[in-house]
A and B are shown apart, each in its own frame.
Chain A
Amino acid sequence: DAGVTQSPTHLIKTRGQQVTLRCSPISGHKSVSWYQQVLGQGPQFIFQYYEKEERGRGNFPDRFSARQFPNYSSELNVNALLLGDSALYLCASNLAGTSGIGEQFFGPGTRLTVL
Chain B
Amino acid sequence: RKEVEQDPGPFNVPEGATVAFNCTYSNSASQSFFWYRQDCRKEPKLLMSVYSSGNEDGRFTAQLNRASQYISLLIRDSKLSDSATYLCVVSSNSGYALNFGKGTSLLVTP
Contact = CB atoms under 8 A, between A and B. Distances in A.
Contact of B97 (A99, A101, A105, A108): A101
Q: Report, as a range, how many residues of chain A touch the other chain.
A: 20 to 34
Contacts of A70: none
B46 A42 contact: no
Contacts of B44: 43, 90, 106
Contacts, number: 58
A24 to B, nearest CB: 14
Interface string A58-82: 1000000000000000000000000
B73 to A, nearest CB: 15
Nearest to A91: B43
Contacts of B100: 35, 42-44
A104 interface: yes
B68 interface: no
B103 A109 contact: no
B97 A56 contact: yes
B46 A101 contact: no
A40 B102 contact: yes
Contact of B95 (A44, A100, A104): A100
Contacts of A100: 31-32, 95
Interface of B: 4, 31-32, 34, 42-46, 49, 87, 91-92, 94-103
Given A42-B87, A103-B49, 4 more contacts: A35-B100, A42-B103, A45-B98, A101-B98
7 contacts: A33-B97, A35-B98, A42-B103, A55-B96, A90-B44, A103-B34, A107-B43
Interface of A: 33, 35, 40-45, 48, 55-56, 58, 90, 96, 99-101, 103-109
Identify the 7 closest CB pairs spanning chains A and B, nearest first: A42-B100, A56-B96, A106-B43, A45-B97, A48-B96, A55-B96, A43-B100
